[in-house]
Homo-oligomer: A and B are copies of this chain.
Amino acid sequence: MRIVVLAGGIGGARFLRGLKQAAPDADITVIGNTGDDIHLFGLKVCPDLDTVMYTLGGGIHEEQGWGRAGETFAVKEELAAYGVGPEWFGLGDRDVATHIVRTQMLGAGYPLSAVTEALCKRWEPGVRLLPMTDDRVETHVVVDTGEGRKAVHFQEYWVGLRAEPTAHAVVPVGAEQAAPAPGVLEAVAAADVVLFPPSNPVVSIGTILAVPGVREAIADAGVPVVGLSPLIGGAPVRGMADKVLAAIGVESTAAAVAAHYGSGLLDGWLVDASDAEAVPEVERVGIRCRAVPLLMSDTAATAAMARAALELAEEVRA
């Protein structure tokens, strides 16, 4: 079975770990969000791709969900001693090596997809990890500041400002001019099923879908497309998805997110068992819906979620 998964960072990475357990023989291609990418200290940082790579490759800081296990911060401390910021970015020493290798390869002319493949040779994530695009796309968020509104890089909004200022718009800068990375459309066309993990529907999956051709390829693939709600009981399980949903005028409920994707894209949708009352609402807009436990408390629980998603996909197909 060929499964294509659109993934952001922590939520996507943890879901993938469950999916690998649930479908050990599946051929999994991950289309990773690169809208979070940022140039920091002259280095190219790809937080979502790295989170997937480290999580599936056994290098992730488990409790934190991002960054490396056993990480140290000498480089960051020294940069601060030179007065070079931003200080809000958690740049670990081990992580720096990944960014150095990536930056050096990009500088030598390799596209991000080739760089990602090279980095994955070390991590052996057990999936094929593709960036959504080799082109530069950067998600910017329009926020209120003391001196009026301004657009800041998503990382500054999310990490630096902890999503506290009101977000008025989320713009994947460069997405309109971007092309899907080599292999992305081919993987979608060859897929037996497409899954949307409980990743952020705006700045993770939404950004991937904003790359011209990706949404259309998924809608036209003629295979089941099943998503899992990142919201439980009207709130994100992790992160601050509600803030960016508000910015694009979508209510923070499992049903509203399903309707936002729409029945033209989504065939099936899983909501948490505690959100069972949303099922008829989702089915009314033409999306098959089931309520199952959606807390990724451990890999076994996550594998059960992945199985439920694959079962729903088979139901849709039949």
Q: Which residues in A have some Cβ–Cβ distance to B below 8 Å?
A: 41-43, 72, 74-79, 81-84, 93-94, 96-98, 100-101, 103-104, 107, 119, 122
Contacts and interface: CB of A to CB of B under 8 A. Distances in A.
Interface centre among A96, A97, A98, A119 (most CB of B within 10 A): A97
Given A83-B122, A122-B82, A122-B83, A42 B100 contact: yes
Given A81-B122, A122-B81, A122-B82, A75 B104 contact: no
A96 B41 CA distance: 11
Interface centre among A72, A78, A83 (most CB of B within 10 A): A78
25 contacts: A41-B100, A41-B101, A41-B104, A42-B104, A72-B72, A72-B74, A72-B93, A74-B94, A75-B100, A76-B97, A78-B93, A78-B94, A78-B97, A78-B98, A79-B101, A81-B97, A81-B122, A82-B98, A82-B122, A83-B122, A84-B97, A84-B100, A84-B104, A93-B93, A96-B96
A282 to B, nearest CB: 44
State the oligomeric state as a number of copies. Answer: 2
A60 to B, nearest CB: 14
Contact of A74 (B42, B84, B93): B93
Given A82-B119, A83-B122, A122-B81, A75 B101 contact: no
A97 B122 contact: no
A189 B36 CA distance: 53
B96 A75 contact: yes
B93 A79 contact: no
B103 A75 contact: no
A77 B94 CA distance: 8
A306 B76 CA distance: 38
Contacts of A41: 100-101, 104
Contacts of A96: 75, 78, 93, 96
Contacts of A77: 97
Contacts of A82: 97-98, 101, 119, 122
